[in-house]
Chains A and B, each alone.
Chain A
Amino acid sequence: MTTLTPGEWQAIWLTAKLAGLTTLILLIVSAPLAWWLAHSTSRLANPVAALVSLPLVLPPTVIGFYLLIVLGPQGAVGGTLEDLGLHHLAFSFWGILIGSVIYSMPFTVQPLREAFATIDSRLLDAAATLRAGALDRFFNLVLPLSRSGILTAVVITFAHTVGEFGVIAMLGGSIPGETRVVSIAIYDLTQALEYGAAHRLSAILLGFSFVTLLLFYAINQRVMSPLKPR
């Protein structure tokens, strides 16, 4: 196994950090949203669902472009931060974190929403009669019954963020240690004609993605079988 340079390790660590934080934030944000989407009869439900799914069809460069404007020093968010004496968010880790959260949100919301929607409402009714309040029902009934959906959401969100390129290319500026994630690093390396390094990083990414999906399918089988209908 050939050795990795400090720069390559830095890119790997940065990518892991970005994907990990994105997944964590999205789980927390998406759970209530997915629950609402699964059960709401409001007329707002469809527009909200469309908005959440937008990153699925938009070119990542479009997302990155708009975020650059909004998070940059003249933007609604970035400008306000600057006025408060803080730093704007373009070309920073926090900026690409926000970009990743938006870009990967449909991959968290979708599996969670499906998992929540397939829970028999009578189980929730039964739990209510057994004196379980809303949060109690959510943590002790909904989450255990959604194990498969949660696992899917975590794995797909993480892997999707690892593979992100377009948004970060627009928004990141390829700053080492801040925004130069593995996908960007590979791109830079190919431009520098450093194909050996590019191969190394690409192979790592490929291997990681494959192993992740393999584990995911194996675990999913075991998680799902006790819950299969008789």
Chain B
Amino acid sequence: MKIGTHWLSATAIALSTLTAVAHADTARVAAAADLRYAFSEIQPLFEKAHPDHKLELILGSSGKFMQQLENGAPFDIFFSADVNFPNKLVASGKAQAPVTTYAFGRIVLWSAKVDATQLTLKDLDKLEFRKIAIAAPDHAPYGARAKEALEHSGMWSKVQGKLVFGENISHTAQLIYKQAAEIGIIALSLAVNEALKSKAGYYLIPADFHQPLEQAYAVTSYGKNNAAAKAFARFMTTPEARQVMTRYGFVLPGETPQ
């Protein structure tokens, strides 16, 4: 390890954190966990196009972010996996109108153990699947949709005893990846990522099995004067960003789903 250069970078970071003032051109983005891989590609594209702006990405469950924002968390813009959360925040004055839909998400069945491409939800009560992971339905939109899909297919009551809950959709993916659960329902945008795709394929759950995953963002009242946040919101409508989103399986507003 090059001690010298790392010490320098450590000191630089230390000095910058000591000031503890958010740089005016840095936006703190609270992003739903399903956007993890899509945003990890979009962030460098944005920063290249806008060299004077920087993004700090914090990923988690949309429900948790809503709670934190109600309690005054310092995020500048909120990309939720469910349009209801930013709507509530605008109603309570914690976010700015308008609430803009940026994508529609999809859920998939995925396992790190077996190839899910040949499976359907009806296979979930098989004995080989001792634990099934979904995101926590009460605050993670992807979890709520997973529950709806299971109810729609008549499997909910049969598999309820085998369910384990991830804190957000990303955590859920991790549980399955590490085979703490043999199989589970995660976001399409996660399943198409190389790390997971290389393990095994997925089964796309039909969109009419659940309410649509309307994903929307809003600028928070904390970030209302943040130039970078507004620039990022605009960037999401550019062809560059839309291409990345489509590659991750998101259906963009105005387009038809698969």
0/1 interface trace, chain B 55-79, chain A, CB 8 Å (1 if under): 0101110000000100111100000
Chain B binding surface SS class: helix
Interface residues of A in 64-103 (CB under 8 A from B): 68, 72-74, 78, 88, 90-93
**Chain B residues near A12 (CB-CB < 8 A):** 10
A130 at interface, CB cutoff 8 A: no
Interface residues on A, range: 20 to 34
Segment at the B interface, from A3-11, A153-161, A210-218: A3-11
> In the complex where A176-B56, A191-B170 touch, is A3 in contact with B6 (Cβ < 8 A)?
yes
* A73 close to B71 (CB less than 8 A): yes
* B60 close to A13 (CB less than 8 A): no
Chain A binding surface SS class: loop
In-complex Cβ contact of B9 among A6, A14, A88, A176 (8 A):
A6
B49 at interface, CB cutoff 8 A: no
Q: How many B residues have CB within 8 A of the partner chain?
A: 30
Q: A73 to B72, alpha carbons, bound, how many Å? A: 6
A44 at interface, CB cutoff 8 A: no
Q: A1 to B3, alpha carbons, bound, how many Å? A: 11
**Chain B residues near A3 (CB-CB < 8 A):** 1-2, 6
A192 at interface, CB cutoff 8 A: yes
**Chain B residues near A88 (CB-CB < 8 A):** 72
* A188 close to B59 (CB less than 8 A): yes
Segment at the A interface, from B14-22, B98-106, B123-131, B223-231: B14-22
* B71 close to A4 (CB less than 8 A): no
Closest to B169 in A: A191
**Chain B residues near A74 (CB-CB < 8 A):** 71
A175 at interface, CB cutoff 8 A: yes
* B72 close to A174 (CB less than 8 A): no
**Chain B residues near A176 (CB-CB < 8 A):** 56, 58
Q: A152 to B17, alpha carbons, bound, how many Å? A: 30
**Chain A residues near B177 (CB-CB < 8 A):** 193
**Chain A residues near B17 (CB-CB < 8 A):** 10, 13-14, 17, 177-178
* A191 close to B71 (CB less than 8 A): no
Residue among A2, A13, A173 having the largest count of chain B Cβ atoms under 10 Å? A173
A46 at interface, CB cutoff 8 A: no
- Write the nearest CB–CB distance from A11 to chain B, whole angstroms: 10
Q: A9 to B60, alpha carbons, bound, how many Å? A: 22
In-complex Cβ contact of A1 among B1, B60, B71, B170 (8 A):
B1
* A93 close to B13 (CB less than 8 A): no
* B58 close to A174 (CB less than 8 A): yes
> In the complex where A74-B71, A91-B74 touch, is A4 in contact with B6 (Cβ < 8 A)?
yes
A140 at interface, CB cutoff 8 A: no
Residues of B at the A interface (CB closer than 8 Å) are: 1-2, 6, 9-10, 13-14, 16-17, 20, 28, 33, 36, 56, 58-60, 68, 71-74, 168, 170-171, 173-174, 177, 195-196
CB-based closest 4 A-B pairs: A73-B72, A72-B71, A1-B1, A177-B17
A9-B9, A73-B71 are known contacts; what are 8 more A-B pairs with Cβ within 8 Å?
A9-B13, A13-B14, A74-B71, A91-B73, A176-B56, A177-B17, A192-B170, A193-B173
